[in-house]
Amino acid sequence: MLIRNLSMAVVIAAVTMAAPAMAIKMPLKSYHKEMFTNDDGSVECSACHGDSKRYSFPDEAKCISCHGDKASLAEETARPGHGAEFEPNPHDSLHYGQDLSCVYCHSEHKKPKVYCNQCHEFKYPDMKRK
Ligand code: HEC
Ligand code: HEC
Ligand code: HEC
Ligand code: HEC
């Protein structure tokens, strides 16, 4: 019993300490940093994560509310033509259409990975990764 309570205390201490440390370990991309940072340096986590208590991957509805619906996004990145000289439109693809969630490719706190590149080797030089 003594040991059990002791380990509980350790868990509680770890959780309490993790909360402020987490904010430090959650860097934002340069293109988002300013707009989500308050004057006192705190970050508006809820702007992407909503009111959920435990943060996981954000609901893409948040992204869409600022960036426009998927159809217009797909139009924005439409290619001037077809053929090997054009890398395919990431927002409207052969296999998935416009269905992929934004966060499959646009990570926020870590280096983004293009979902397609599990199988392909697209370069996508215009994608902002930092
Ligand atoms: C409160 C509004 C807002 C929310 C929410 C938001 N963004 Fe942004 N985002 C912006 C603005 C403003 C910019 C900078 C201007 C621009 O390039 O559109 C930006 C920039 C970007 C860029 C770089 C665009 C470029 O020019 O290459 C990407 C990619 C992006 N956001 C993806 C996302 C994703 C994915 C989410 C959801 C997890 C998200 N954003 C949530 C407003 C928002
Ligand atoms: C399959 C990967 C992938 C997914 C899923 C994805 N994107 Fe992108 N996104 C890219 C790539 C790659 C670019 C670089 C632009 C290009 O190649 O045309 C980009 C560019 C952008 C840009 C800049 C557009 C511009 O005009 O240059 C914005 C904003 C953006 N994405 C937002 C989003 C949002 C919001 C979602 C979800 C609705 C999303 N993306 C889903 C890969 C993806
Ligand atoms: C601009 C949108 C945005 C903001 C603001 C934001 N996040 Fe995130 N968060 C994301 C995205 C996108 C992911 C998906 C994984 C990734 O990109 O790293 C994520 C994932 C996470 C995860 C889960 C990590 C994992 O790999 O399972 C945690 C925890 C988290 N965010 C915490 C925070 C905290 C704390 C803040 C505020 C200090 C914050 N986020 C602010 C977009 C955002
Ligand atoms: C799970 C693996 C996988 C993923 C993930 C994947 N693809 Fe594919 N893709 C394939 C296979 C397999 C083919 C068929 C190859 C062939 O027959 O040439 C293919 C073919 C294609 C083709 C036509 C052939 C070509 O290379 O011109 C395009 C375009 C394409 N994929 C785009 C995408 C895009 C964009 C994404 C991400 C949004 C994506 N794929 C994600 C496996 C994948």
> Which has more pLDDT, 109 or 19?
109
Mutational test site, ligand 2, from 106, 108, 114, max ligand atoms within 8 Å of CB: 106
Q: Whose CA is nearest to atom 10 of ligand 4?
A: 119
Q: Is 45 in the pocket of ligand 1 (CB under 6 A)?
A: no
pTM of the entire predicted model? 0.91
In a domain, 28, yes or no: yes
In a domain, 24, yes or no: yes
> Which has more pLDDT, 61 or 18?
61
CATH number at residue 47: 1.10.1130
In a domain, 62, yes or no: yes
In a domain, 123, yes or no: no
pLDDT over 90 (residue 124): yes
What percent of the chain is modeled with pLDDT above 70? 82
Q: Is 107 in the pocket of ligand 3 (CB under 6 A)?
A: yes
Domain extent at residue 74: 2-118
Q: Mean pLDDT, to the nearest integer, of 88-92?
A: 97
**Under DSSP, is residue 93 helix (H, G, I), strand (E, B) or coil?**
strand
Residue 2: exposed, middle, or buried by beta-carbon count in 10 A (0-12, 13-18, 19+)?
Answer: exposed
Summary mean pLDDT of the chain: 86
* pLDDT tier at 82, thresholds 50, 70, 90: confident
Number of domains in the chain: 1
Residue 81's pLDDT is what? 86
Q: Mean pLDDT, to the nearest integer, of 102-121?
A: 97
Q: Is 32 in the pocket of ligand 3 (CB under 6 A)?
A: yes
Whose CA is closest to 57, among 9, 101, 15, 98? 101
Q: Provide the token pair at 128.
A: 């902002």
CA distances from 80 to 77, 85, 128 (A): 9, 10, 20
In a domain, 88, yes or no: yes
Interval 14-55: pLDDT, tens: 444 444 445 557 899 999 999 999 999 999 999 999 988 888
CA 89 – ligand 3 centroid, Å:
25
Q: Mean pLDDT, to the nearest integer, of 92-106?
A: 96
- Give CA–CA dist 62/113, Å, rounded: 20
In a domain, 108, yes or no: yes
